[in-house]
């Protein structure tokens, strides 16, 4: 069990550029979540996948954001035309179903700075 991994760990970009982040969940986990965490705040839910299906999207996920999980394994989160307000830590988590013992395991995050 290698845990949840995210790449890159840090990204600095200029306003208006597109960025893409990758998340590799724990191998047997079929649920995958993206969160955004800004300074001084707890993580905020962005979106959730069960296998390859995106089942819920937060209103925080504007049209500039898109997430995919094409084969039900790794996931990508793309931000188009980045804005300074997008600067945050983007966290990925995964969990397995079914049952009440479900726990989300978090990756180390990708810290984005938009200049």
Interface with other proteins by CB under 8 A: which range of 13-21, 61-69, 76-84, 90-98? 90-98
Q: Does residue 44 have a cis peptide bond before it, meaning omega lies within 30 degrees of 0?
A: no
Among 103, 97, 86, 104, which residue's Cα sits nearest to residue 11? 86
Quickly tell me which residue has 């999980």 as its tokens.
69
Question: DSSP letter at 114?
Answer: E
Could you say which of 22, 31, 66, 72 contacts other proteins (CB under 8 A)? Answer: 31
Q: Does 25 bind other proteins (CB under 8 A)?
A: no
**Is there binding between residue 95 and other proteins (CB under 8 A)?**
yes
Instruction: State residue 79 phi and psi, 5-degree precision.
Output: -120, 120
Residue from 12, 15, 17, 56 touching other proteins (CB under 8 A): that is 56
Task: List contacts with other proteins (CB under 8 A).
Answer: 4, 6, 31, 33, 40-45, 48, 50, 55-56, 91, 93, 95, 97, 100-109, 111
């Amino acid at each position: 069990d290698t845990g949840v991994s995210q790449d890159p760990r840090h990204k600095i970009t200029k306003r208006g550029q597109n960025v893409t982040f990758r998340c590799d969940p724990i191998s047997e986990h079929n649920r995958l979540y993206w969160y955004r965490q800004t300074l001084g705040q707890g993580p905020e839910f962005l979106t959730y996948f069960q296998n390859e299906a995106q089942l819920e999207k937060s209103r925080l996920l504007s049209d500039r954001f898109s997430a995919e999980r094409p084969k039900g394994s790794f996931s990508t989160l793309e931000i188009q035309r980045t804005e300074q307000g997008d600067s945050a830590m983007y966290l990925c988590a995964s969990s397995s179903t079914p049952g009440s013992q479900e726990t989300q395991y978090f990756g180390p995050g990708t810290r984005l700075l938009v200049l």
